[in-house]
Chain A
């Protein structure tokens, strides 16, 4: 047993190294998951904020258009209904893992986008409406909001991507399943194309 004297010191060092590495690795997974989850929550609340901001602009917009094109009743009704539906479907951050709820939320916002597009398009037939100061102001605010929605969605998508990667890679997937974290659904591509190109009316054409 005279080998023991040479073996013991390096064995002890190896033990310390092992403890160290284990701490580092498991810490990696845990921290990344927590910060990833937080990033998702905060970017999602920004998405909701901007969608709400858009919804808030709509009643004014409808009123201004009504002032010039009162008999376009079908369009007004569609927009009002789509808005009511979109604002009634809430999706708090805790429910983000539910793919069906997420899809419902997306669909309601997409429906609102298209009926909003139709409302703006009404102005094409009414030059007085097009030139109206209030209408142009609301147009500017709507365009700004649509852009912010796009930015917020892109940041959310990025946060989801990073989180999903952490949840799926080794060894953090072990930590993830232990803690109950699952990969979250992302915005679908077909709706993305519809929403990210907002309805624009070009005054200079």
Chain B
């Protein structure tokens, strides 16, 4: 009896582990094809087109071709992808994902919050049904995808979006200045007033400032660090340490590609062929 229970246990765990979710590929280019449906030329052709559109208009459109999304529906998988890739610019949310699950014969256009006005559910559905699927039914995958992406680009071009900037400013970098100030003032004051009191107060001041930018725990660590620096450091050493704290995110190189931090709400449409 016990042996049978063990066998059932093993079978249960084995079968549940078989139903693992499909992993999400890394975002290294606007076009990701894990099924080798497109040739290398076609991939670079589409990739260039989408990159150019992103630098002109700011909106990030990406293509993902995978074999299957099972056990998830394409809607569930697509949302996981865009949550991870974060296509589109932060706060503007102008990302679009065209995802094709070749084996499942399903596809979906996932639209970011900011584009739901022009690239509505209805428009997405029409692009899928009237433009992409007719090509797919003939087995012409590149033609269908190319036409679909052109249609999406046309629709998004009509939407008024903020102009793209060259590099993104990271507000975390503004933390450095108040911290340096605290360290400098603290180092100066400790010659006049009791060292430990000044160190403690500097630490608390740094903590309070840091909580506006970061989580409480990291802010606590920063406060502690500032207190120690003020206590044992000299003026020159202190401000040097303060400068190295945070670094702002710079612009990405032309060969790399990453999401701009946009978010999605489940808008768009799905289809099958």
Chain A interface residues (CB < 8 Å from chain B)? 9, 12-13, 16, 19-21, 23-24, 27-28, 31-32, 46, 137, 140-141, 143-145, 147-148, 150-152, 202, 204
Contacts and interface: CB of A to CB of B under 8 A. Distances in A.
B272 A16 contact: no
B210 to A, nearest CB: 11
Interface stretch (B94-102, B166-174, B242-250, B261-269): B261-269
A151 B266 contact: yes
A140 B268 CA distance: 9
B266 A143 contact: no
A148 B207 contact: no
B70 to A, nearest CB: 15
Interface string B211-235: 1000011011001100100000000
Given A23-B207, A31-B211, A147-B267, 13 more contacts: A9-B196, A16-B200, A20-B223, A24-B217, A27-B211, A28-B216, A140-B126, A144-B124, A144-B266, A147-B266, A148-B267, A202-B272, A204-B272
A176 to B, nearest CB: 15
23 contacts: A16-B199, A19-B200, A20-B223, A23-B207, A24-B217, A24-B223, A28-B216, A32-B216, A46-B265, A140-B122, A140-B124, A140-B125, A141-B120, A141-B121, A143-B121, A143-B270, A144-B120, A144-B121, A144-B122, A144-B268, A148-B265, A151-B264, A151-B265
A140 B196 contact: no
Given A9-B196, A20-B207, A144 B267 contact: yes
Report the interface size class on chain B: 20 to 34
A31 B79 CA distance: 29
- What is the interface of chain A mostly: helix, strand, loop, or mixed? helix
Contact of A145 (B121, B204, B207, B223): B121
A193 to B, nearest CB: 13
Contacts, number: 78
Contact of A144 (B216, B227, B269, B273): B269
Contacts of A204: 272-273
A23 to B, nearest CB: 7
Interface in B133-182: none
A24 B216 contact: yes
A47 to B, nearest CB: 11
A151 B81 CA distance: 13
B114 interface: no
A6 to B, nearest CB: 15
A19 B199 CA distance: 13
A27 B216 CA distance: 7
Nearest to A30: B216
B93 interface: no
Contact of A23 (B121, B124, B204, B273): B204
Nearest to B133: A204
B75 A147 contact: yes
A24 B227 CA distance: 14
Contacts of A16: 196-197, 199-200, 203, 227
A21 B217 CA distance: 10
A9 B120 CA distance: 68
B169 to A, nearest CB: 23
B223 A137 contact: no
A118 B203 CA distance: 64
B196 A151 contact: no
A137 B79 CA distance: 23
A148 B75 CA distance: 10
